[in-house]
Protein backbone atom coordinates (compact mmCIF):
# COMPACT_ATOMS: atom_id res chain seq x y z
CA UNK A 1 0.00 0.00 0.00
CA UNK A 2 1.06 3.55 -0.66
CA UNK A 3 0.22 6.58 1.48
CA UNK A 4 -2.02 8.93 -0.48
CA UNK A 5 -1.72 12.71 -0.45
CA UNK A 6 -5.36 13.20 0.52
CA UNK A 7 -6.96 12.52 3.88
CA UNK A 8 -10.42 12.60 2.28
CA UNK A 9 -12.08 9.42 1.02
CA UNK A 10 -13.14 9.46 -2.62
CA UNK A 11 -16.67 8.38 -3.55
CA UNK A 12 -15.28 5.03 -4.72
CA UNK A 13 -13.36 4.50 -1.48
CA UNK A 14 -16.47 5.38 0.53
CA UNK A 15 -18.49 2.80 -1.44
CA UNK A 16 -15.76 0.23 -0.82
CA UNK A 17 -15.89 0.78 2.97
CA UNK A 18 -19.69 0.55 2.94
CA UNK A 19 -19.91 -2.75 1.03
CA UNK A 20 -16.85 -4.76 2.16
CA UNK A 21 -16.14 -6.27 5.56
CA UNK A 22 -13.82 -3.98 7.49
CA UNK A 23 -11.15 -5.03 9.96
CA UNK A 24 -10.05 -2.65 12.71
CA UNK A 25 -6.70 -2.88 14.45
CA UNK A 26 -5.36 -1.19 17.55
CA UNK A 27 -2.54 -1.60 20.06
CA UNK A 28 -2.77 -2.12 23.81
CA UNK A 29 -0.90 0.11 26.24
CA UNK A 30 1.56 -2.81 26.55
CA UNK A 31 2.16 -2.88 22.79
CA UNK A 32 0.06 -5.96 21.99
CA UNK A 33 -1.68 -5.72 18.60
CA UNK A 34 -5.37 -6.51 18.23
CA UNK A 35 -7.45 -6.87 15.07
CA UNK A 36 -11.03 -7.88 14.41
CA UNK A 37 -13.91 -7.50 11.97
CA UNK A 38 -16.50 -4.73 12.32
CA UNK A 39 -19.61 -5.68 10.37
CA UNK A 40 -21.40 -2.44 11.33
CA UNK A 41 -18.66 -0.12 10.01
CA UNK A 42 -19.99 2.67 7.77
CA UNK A 43 -18.73 5.92 6.25
CA UNK A 44 -20.05 9.09 7.91
CA UNK A 45 -18.46 11.46 5.37
CA UNK A 46 -15.19 11.78 3.47
CA UNK A 47 -13.23 12.27 6.74
CA UNK A 48 -14.93 9.91 9.20
CA UNK A 49 -15.79 6.24 9.67
CA UNK A 50 -18.07 4.84 12.35
CA UNK A 51 -19.26 1.55 13.84
CA UNK A 52 -21.38 0.25 16.71
CA UNK A 53 -19.12 -1.25 19.36
CA UNK A 54 -20.96 -4.20 20.89
CA UNK A 55 -18.14 -6.40 22.22
CA UNK A 56 -16.47 -3.83 24.51
CA UNK A 57 -13.38 -6.05 24.66
CA UNK A 58 -9.74 -5.45 23.63
CA UNK A 59 -10.44 -2.83 20.94
CA UNK A 60 -12.68 -0.89 23.34
CA UNK A 61 -9.96 -0.89 26.01
CA UNK A 62 -7.31 0.15 23.50
CA UNK A 63 -9.40 3.06 22.20
CA UNK A 64 -10.12 4.19 25.75
CA UNK A 65 -6.35 4.10 26.39
CA UNK A 66 -5.62 6.34 23.38
CA UNK A 67 -4.56 3.83 20.70
CA UNK A 68 -4.69 4.95 17.10
CA UNK A 69 -6.67 2.59 14.88
CA UNK A 70 -6.19 1.26 11.37
CA UNK A 71 -9.24 0.21 9.37
CA UNK A 72 -8.73 -2.02 6.32
CA UNK A 73 -11.10 -3.26 3.62
CA UNK A 74 -10.03 -5.46 0.76
CA UNK A 75 -11.32 -7.30 -2.26
CA UNK A 76 -9.50 -10.52 -3.13
CA UNK A 77 -10.71 -10.77 -6.72
CA UNK A 78 -9.65 -7.27 -7.77
CA UNK A 79 -6.60 -7.13 -5.46
CA UNK A 80 -7.91 -3.78 -4.22
CA UNK A 81 -7.56 -2.59 -0.64
CA UNK A 82 -7.82 0.64 1.28
CA UNK A 83 -6.52 1.40 4.77
CA UNK A 84 -7.17 4.43 6.91
CA UNK A 85 -5.34 5.37 10.08
CA UNK A 86 -6.90 7.67 12.59
CA UNK A 87 -8.02 8.54 16.07
CA UNK A 88 -11.14 6.84 17.40
CA UNK A 89 -13.52 8.23 20.00
CA UNK A 90 -16.98 7.52 21.38
CA UNK A 91 -19.62 9.61 19.62
CA UNK A 92 -21.98 11.84 21.55
CA UNK A 93 -23.91 12.85 18.39
CA UNK A 94 -27.38 11.49 19.19
CA UNK A 95 -28.60 11.72 15.58
CA UNK A 96 -25.58 9.72 14.34
CA UNK A 97 -25.97 7.17 17.14
CA UNK A 98 -29.66 6.53 16.42
CA UNK A 99 -29.12 6.46 12.65
CA UNK A 100 -26.29 3.90 12.83
CA UNK A 101 -28.08 1.73 15.38
CA UNK A 102 -31.19 1.71 13.17
CA UNK A 103 -29.26 0.94 9.96
CA UNK A 104 -27.21 -1.86 11.50
CA UNK A 105 -29.71 -3.29 13.96
CA UNK A 106 -26.99 -3.22 16.61
CA UNK A 107 -27.09 -1.58 20.02
CA UNK A 108 -23.92 -0.34 21.67
CA UNK A 109 -21.58 2.60 21.83
CA UNK A 110 -20.93 4.34 18.51
CA UNK A 111 -17.27 4.86 17.67
CA UNK A 112 -16.12 7.50 15.19
CA UNK A 113 -12.71 7.48 13.50
CA UNK A 114 -11.21 10.82 12.46
CA UNK A 115 -9.21 9.89 9.34
CA UNK A 116 -5.59 11.10 9.44
CA UNK A 117 -4.06 8.98 6.66
CA UNK A 118 -5.30 6.95 3.69
CA UNK A 119 -3.29 4.19 2.05
CA UNK A 120 -4.25 2.35 -1.12
pLDDT tens sequence across 74-89: 999 999 999 999 999 9
pLDDT tens sequence across 54-113: 999 999 999 999 999 999 999 999 999 999 999 999 999 999 999 999 999 999 999 999
Instruction: Specify the pLDDT at position 11.
Output: 97
Whole-angstrom Cα distance, residue 45 to residue 31?
31
- Backbone torsions φ then ψ of 10, nearest 5 degrees: -75, 170
Instruction: Specify the pLDDT at position 1.
Output: 86
Looking at residue 48, the DSSP 8-state letter turns out to be E
Grouping H, G, I as helix, E, B as strand and the rest as coil, residue 95 is helix
pLDDT tens sequence across 20-65: 999 999 999 999 999 999 999 999 999 999 999 999 999 999 999 9
Question: In this structure, what is the dihedral angle of CA atoms 62, 66, 67, 72, given to the nearest 10 degrees?
Answer: 90
Amino acid sequence: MKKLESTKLTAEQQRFFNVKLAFVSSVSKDGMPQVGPKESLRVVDDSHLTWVEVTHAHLWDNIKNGSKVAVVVGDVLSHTNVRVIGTAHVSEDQALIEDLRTKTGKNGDVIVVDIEEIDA
